[in-house]
Protein backbone atom coordinates (compact mmCIF):
# COMPACT_ATOMS: atom_id res chain seq x y z
CA UNK A 1 0.00 0.00 0.00
CA UNK A 2 1.48 3.34 -0.99
CA UNK A 3 1.88 6.18 1.49
CA UNK A 4 -1.23 7.87 0.05
CA UNK A 5 -3.18 4.67 0.61
CA UNK A 6 -2.09 4.50 4.26
CA UNK A 7 -3.05 8.12 4.79
CA UNK A 8 -6.42 7.48 3.14
CA UNK A 9 -6.99 4.48 5.43
CA UNK A 10 -6.25 6.56 8.51
CA UNK A 11 -8.48 9.42 7.37
CA UNK A 12 -11.29 7.10 6.34
CA UNK A 13 -11.38 5.27 9.66
CA UNK A 14 -11.17 8.47 11.67
CA UNK A 15 -14.15 9.93 9.83
CA UNK A 16 -16.22 6.74 9.70
CA UNK A 17 -16.72 6.23 13.40
CA UNK A 18 -16.34 9.63 14.96
CA UNK A 19 -19.46 8.86 16.97
CA UNK A 20 -18.12 5.66 18.59
CA UNK A 21 -19.56 4.72 21.96
CA UNK A 22 -17.80 6.25 24.92
CA UNK A 23 -14.97 4.14 26.18
CA UNK A 24 -11.22 3.74 26.09
CA UNK A 25 -11.18 2.41 22.53
CA UNK A 26 -11.93 4.72 19.62
CA UNK A 27 -11.46 4.25 15.90
CA UNK A 28 -8.57 6.70 16.14
CA UNK A 29 -6.88 4.30 18.58
CA UNK A 30 -7.63 1.33 16.34
CA UNK A 31 -6.20 3.17 13.32
CA UNK A 32 -3.05 4.25 15.12
CA UNK A 33 -2.58 0.73 16.48
CA UNK A 34 -3.09 -0.95 13.10
CA UNK A 35 -1.34 1.50 10.76
CA UNK A 36 2.01 -0.35 11.17
CA UNK A 37 0.16 -3.46 9.95
CA UNK A 38 -0.81 -1.99 6.55
CA UNK A 39 1.87 -3.76 4.52
CA UNK A 40 1.17 -7.09 6.22
CA UNK A 41 -2.58 -6.72 5.66
CA UNK A 42 -2.13 -6.09 1.95
CA UNK A 43 0.90 -8.27 1.13
CA UNK A 44 1.15 -10.86 3.92
CA UNK A 45 4.51 -12.16 5.06
CA UNK A 46 5.91 -11.58 8.53
CA UNK A 47 3.93 -9.22 10.78
CA UNK A 48 6.27 -6.32 11.70
CA UNK A 49 7.18 -5.85 15.38
CA UNK A 50 5.50 -2.41 15.40
CA UNK A 51 2.33 -4.05 14.10
CA UNK A 52 2.32 -6.64 16.89
CA UNK A 53 3.04 -3.94 19.47
CA UNK A 54 -0.02 -2.05 18.21
CA UNK A 55 -2.19 -5.19 18.28
CA UNK A 56 -1.08 -5.97 21.83
CA UNK A 57 -1.69 -2.38 22.99
CA UNK A 58 -5.14 -2.37 21.44
CA UNK A 59 -5.93 -5.71 23.10
CA UNK A 60 -4.90 -4.33 26.50
CA UNK A 61 -6.95 -1.16 25.97
CA UNK A 62 -10.15 -3.05 25.11
CA UNK A 63 -11.11 -3.96 28.66
CA UNK A 64 -14.90 -3.65 28.40
CA UNK A 65 -17.56 -5.10 26.12
CA UNK A 66 -18.13 -1.61 24.66
CA UNK A 67 -14.41 -1.26 23.90
CA UNK A 68 -14.26 -4.67 22.21
CA UNK A 69 -17.40 -3.94 20.17
CA UNK A 70 -15.97 -0.58 19.09
CA UNK A 71 -12.68 -2.19 18.02
CA UNK A 72 -14.62 -4.89 16.16
CA UNK A 73 -16.75 -2.32 14.30
CA UNK A 74 -13.71 -0.26 13.33
CA UNK A 75 -11.88 -3.30 11.96
CA UNK A 76 -15.02 -4.54 10.22
CA UNK A 77 -15.57 -1.21 8.50
CA UNK A 78 -11.96 -1.11 7.36
CA UNK A 79 -12.26 -4.60 5.90
CA UNK A 80 -15.43 -3.55 4.04
CA UNK A 81 -14.18 -0.21 2.74
CA UNK A 82 -10.46 -0.41 2.10
CA UNK A 83 -9.51 -2.27 -1.06
CA UNK A 84 -6.57 -4.62 -0.99
CA UNK A 85 -6.89 -5.95 2.56
CA UNK A 86 -6.29 -9.69 2.65
CA UNK A 87 -9.01 -10.98 4.98
CA UNK A 88 -7.03 -14.14 5.72
CA UNK A 89 -4.06 -12.04 6.83
CA UNK A 90 -6.37 -9.87 8.95
CA UNK A 91 -7.92 -12.90 10.62
CA UNK A 92 -4.55 -14.46 11.40
CA UNK A 93 -2.92 -11.27 12.68
CA UNK A 94 -3.95 -11.48 16.36
CA UNK A 95 -2.62 -15.04 16.64
CA UNK A 96 0.64 -14.11 14.92
CA UNK A 97 1.06 -11.37 17.51
CA UNK A 98 0.29 -13.63 20.48
CA UNK A 99 -3.19 -12.24 21.14
CA UNK A 100 -6.44 -14.20 21.33
CA UNK A 101 -9.60 -12.26 20.56
CA UNK A 102 -13.12 -13.64 21.04
CA UNK A 103 -14.29 -13.01 17.47
CA UNK A 104 -13.16 -13.40 13.87
CA UNK A 105 -11.94 -10.30 12.06
CA UNK A 106 -14.30 -10.37 9.10
CA UNK A 107 -16.82 -8.11 7.35
CA UNK A 108 -19.52 -10.60 8.40
CA UNK A 109 -18.80 -10.56 12.15
CA UNK A 110 -21.77 -9.35 14.23
CA UNK A 111 -19.92 -6.92 16.49
CA UNK A 112 -23.00 -6.44 18.68
CA UNK A 113 -22.48 -10.01 19.93
CA UNK A 114 -18.83 -9.51 20.89
CA UNK A 115 -18.39 -9.76 24.64
Q: Which CATH topology does 3-15+25-106 take?
A: Hydrophobic Seed Protein (1.10.110)
Instruction: Look up residue 21 and give its DSSP letter.
Output: P
Mean pLDDT of 68-78: 85
pLDDT score of 23: 63
Asked whether 67 and 23 are in contact (CB, 8 A), the reply is: yes
Contacts of 60 (CB under 8 A, 6+ apart): none
The domain segmentation of the chain, as residue ranges, is 3-15+25-106
Q: Kindly report the pTM of this predicted structure.
A: 0.71
On the CB side of 96, CA atoms within 13 Å amount to 19
pLDDT score of 81: 66
Asked whether 78 and 9 are in contact (CB, 8 A), the reply is: yes
- Phi first, then psi, for residue 6 (nearest 5°) are -65, -45
Q: Residue 80: helix, strand or coil by DSSP?
A: helix
Query: pLDDT over 70 for what percent of the chain?
Result: 76
**Residue 51: which of 89, 87, 21, 24 has the closest Cα?**
89
Q: How confident is the model at residue 64 (pLDDT cuts 50, 70, 90)?
A: very high
Asked if residue 20 has pLDDT above 70, the reply is: no
pLDDT tens digits, residue range 44-62? 888 889 999 999 999 999 9
Amino acid sequence: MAFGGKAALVLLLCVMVSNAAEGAVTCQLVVSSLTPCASYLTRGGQAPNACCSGIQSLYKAATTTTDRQTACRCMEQAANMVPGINLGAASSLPGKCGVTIPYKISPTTDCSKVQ
